[in-house]
Amino acid sequence: EAAVTQSPRSKVAVTGGKVTLSCHQTNNHDYMYWYRQDTGHGLRLIHYSYVADSTEKGDIPDGYKASRPSQENFSLILELASLSQTAVYFCASGTGGSYEQYFGPGTRLTVL
C-alpha cells in the first residue's frame, strides 16, 4: 500500500543540537513537503521539493534545511535546534496535476 512514513515518530533534542527528520514515500509522487504544526497556526510550509536533488523554500524556512537525495526520500535538518522549533512536523507527498497531498503520521519534536 502506497504510503508516507516518517522517522522518528517522536524525538527529544537539546538546544543547539542537530536534528534530522526523515520521510519516505512509496506513492511515486514528484512533490514532497515538510510542514510544522503549532496550536493556533494550522500547518505551515517549511520546505518542498519537486525533483530529486533540488529543494525549495516554503513560507517559514529559517532555521531549517532540506535534502531530497531521491524521489522517495526527503529529510528536514535542524542544524542548531532551538526551543521555538518544538512542534509536530509532517511530511507529505503529492502530484503536480491534482494538487492533492498525502501526509505521513507526523514527528513530535521537543527541544529542551
Partner 1 sequence: AQSVTQPDARVTVSEGASLQLRCKYSYFGTPYLFWYVQYPRQGLQLLLKYYPGDPVVQGVNGFEAEFSKSNSSFHLRKASVHWSDWAVYFCAAVNMGYKLTFGTGTSLLVDP
| 106 contacts partner 1 (rule: CB under 8 A) | yes
According to CB under 8 A, which one of 59, 62, 70, 83 is a site residue for partner 1? 59
| 44 contacts partner 1 (rule: CB under 8 A) | yes
Which region, left, alpha or beta, applies to residue 84 given φ > 0 means left and ψ of -120 to 50 means alpha?
A: alpha
| 4 contacts partner 1 (rule: CB under 8 A) | yes
| 100 contacts partner 1 (rule: CB under 8 A) | yes
Name the residue type at position 60: I
| Closest listed residue to residue 66, CA positions, set 75, 79, 57 | 75
Q: Contact, 89 vs 76, CB < 8 A?
A: yes
Which residues would be at the binding site for partner 1 (CB under 8 A)? 4, 31, 40-45, 48, 50, 58-59, 90, 92, 94, 96, 98-106
